[in-house]
Amino acid sequence: MNRRITFIQAVREAFQEEMRRDERVFVMGQDVQAGIFATTSKLVDEFGPARVINTPICESASVGAAVGAAMTGLRPVVQIMFGDFNYLAMEMTANQAGQWHYISDGALKVPMVIETPSGARGGAGYGHSQSLEAAFILPPGLKVAVPATPYDAKGLLKSAIRDDNPVLFFEHRRLLPQRGEVPEEEYLIPLGQADIKRVGSDVTLVAVSVTVHKALAAAEKLSQRGIEVEVIDPRTLVPLDKDTIFQSLQKTYHLVVVEEGRKRGGFGAELAAIAVEEWFDYLDAPVQRLGTISAALPYSPVLEAACIPSEEDIVQAVLRSLGQEE
């Protein structure tokens, strides 16, 4: 496997392959025919405007239409241009898409994907910079994918499109131009299967989305000091692969969680609670959590960077876990 393509190309290939495989799959969203972030660019040339549909500027209407389409046998993918705008469609996402399978006693499935760029990208301000993945682990019935590499993005999106449940697929904007190895042959990555990005024996470091790369860089620095960190990418927050994390913790006895989502009420809070409730005997130190501060992200790139976890913050969290904080 030596073909290297961008995250954008990997996502677009997933769309192309699934739309060719299954005529029920279609894409809708604001300017998807043009492809604002290029993940849907040129799809309309192959599949036409009936399957690549530009929608009005109304996220709740787009997601609501997708819910109805999914319940009647289609497989829509809705692109929300900025992750922040998912709040505008929260009613349709959380109360409709996520629960119709349950309230219909299994008579209705809701096979749909909400694909959405998210995250701080340097000076975009409070309304276009948030990482809101954790907001969607609360409502029942939803699945949440957070790929960190082009390989994972393609495999997870293909699985999400084939899933009979609604899936939120978050793409961090800083990752979109990143290149990585992606095979030409078809493959799938099951939802709920974590990946160990780096093997280590001293600390288990669970990192989400773009912070996976910061965690790997921090782990390399710590290795020079004789500290070997195991970096785990959950790849999906729901379903969560607890087994892989627990197996690592049985080896390291130290747990650090990092995300770009807000620390208060975030994924790290949930994982820390799981660790205390289920794995307490395997913790030699308190769980360390890193996340964005609970404030509106500023427009200033310098101030923005001060609000989100950095590589050095991760290094210090690992040292703090080991009682070696500087």
Strand partners, 154: none
The answer to whether the CB of 303 falls within 8 A of the CB of 295 is: no
Mean pLDDT value of segment 249-268: 97
- H or E stretch including 306? helix 301-307
Choosing among 3.30.70.20, 3.40.190.10, 3.40.50.720, 3.40.50.970, the CATH entry for 4-181 is 3.40.50.970
Same fold, 4-181 and 195-321: yes
Residues labelled catalytic: 128
pTM for this entry: 0.96
Output the pLDDT for position 229: 98
Count of CA atoms in the C-beta half-sphere (13 A) of 285 = 19
Output the pLDDT for position 231: 98
Q: Is the dihedral of CA 285, 291, 293, 298 positive or negative?
A: positive
Orientation angle between helical segments 7-21 and 150-162, nearest 10 degrees? 30
Cβ neighbours of 88 (radius 10 Å) = 17
The answer to whether the CB of 257 falls within 8 A of the CB of 214 is: no
For the chain, the average pLDDT equals 96
Enumerate the domain spans of the chain: 4-181, 195-321
Confidence label for 18 from pLDDT (cuts 50, 70 and 90):
very high
Q: Quick one: which of 228, 211, 233, 243 has its CA closest to 314?
A: 211
Strand partners, 206: 232, 257
**Per the structure block, which two tokens stand in for 313?**
């913050």
What gap in Å lies between CA 287 and CA 32, rounded to an integer? Answer: 42
Confidence label for 54 from pLDDT (cuts 50, 70 and 90):
very high
Q: Using DSSP bridges, classify how beta strands 167-172 and 236-238 pair: parallel, antiparallel or unpaired.
A: unpaired
Choosing among 3.40.50.920, 3.60.20.10, 3.40.50.300, 3.40.605.10, the CATH entry for 195-321 is 3.40.50.920
Q: Which residue has the tokens 């972030």?
A: 37
DSSP 80: P
